[in-house]
Chains A and B, each alone.
Chain A
Amino acid sequence: SQKIEQNSEALNIQEGKTATLTCNYTNYSPAYLQWYRQDPGRGPVFLLLIRENEKEKRKERLKVTFDTTLKQSLFHITASQPADSATYLCALVRNDMRFGAGTRLTVKP
């Protein structure tokens, strides 16, 4: 069956460091992959999309990579700030859209 795993449930890092979140999948061939940010008590907000023929995408301090051989996407936040603390969800899209359970990131001052 299809499975999407996002590294750990929670990730704690120090302000200024790079946060790296992982999204692994099995039994699925996404055409593209999206990353969303979710704050407590709010709906997810779209951040970035990367297509299967793209290796890397950047937006300001965010970088996403997509390796279809490893079946993995990495989501990086450089120069992290406490305001980046949130839960980050990956979503895989082919004929439908499937979400991972999310990783809760805490950036400590």
Chain B
Amino acid sequence: EAQVTQNPRYLITVTGKKLTVTCSQNMNHEYMSWYRQDPGLGLRQIYYSMNVEVTDKGDVPEGYKVSRKEKRNFPLILESPSPNQTSLYFCASSLWRGNEKLFFGSGTQLSVL
């Protein structure tokens, strides 16, 4: 089944404790992206990747890192999480940027205490 898989589904952590949210897609998509979703603000892009070893900042990249060493994986790293990074995070992929549709993962609800 074609899908984007994110883990974990829920995560509670404390300020400053490094964490990684994994994302994997099995559709051989070139483009992958991370979004955060906050009430009333909609989906905001954090980082995106057009292909392996190619990443770029989105609208809200501060406090986040990403890597794209393999085509299928695009982990999101929070080196020193802060409470304002409490949010619902989504990974998404598409065949190539500007393609007709994004495929989203099921989301990761992160709480930073």
Q: Which residues of A contact B (CB under 8 A)?
A: 4, 9, 31, 34, 36, 41-46, 49, 89, 91, 93, 96-97, 99-102
Contacts and interface: CB of A to CB of B under 8 A. Distances in A.
A9 B101 CA distance: 24
Given A49-B100, A97-B102, A42 B107 contact: yes
Interface stretch (B40-48, B65-73, B79-87): B40-48
A58 B28 CA distance: 29
Nearest to B35: A99
Given A89-B42, A91-B43, 18 more contacts: A9-B40, A34-B100, A34-B101, A41-B106, A42-B107, A43-B90, A43-B106, A44-B43, A44-B102, A44-B104, A45-B104, A49-B100, A89-B43, A91-B102, A99-B43, A99-B44, A101-B40, A101-B41
Q: Please indicate which of the listed interface residues B4, B102, B104 has the most CB atoms of chain A within 10 Å of its own CB.
A: B102
A17 B92 CA distance: 33
A93 B43 contact: no
A42 B103 CA distance: 12
A53 to B, nearest CB: 15
Interface residues on B, range: 10 to 19
A91 B33 CA distance: 15
B98 to A, nearest CB: 7
B101 A46 contact: yes
Contacts of A99: 35, 42-44
A93 B98 contact: yes
23 contacts: A9-B40, A34-B100, A34-B101, A42-B107, A43-B105, A43-B106, A43-B107, A44-B43, A44-B90, A44-B102, A44-B104, A45-B104, A46-B102, A46-B103, A49-B100, A49-B101, A89-B42, A89-B43, A93-B98, A96-B45, A101-B40, A101-B41, A101-B42
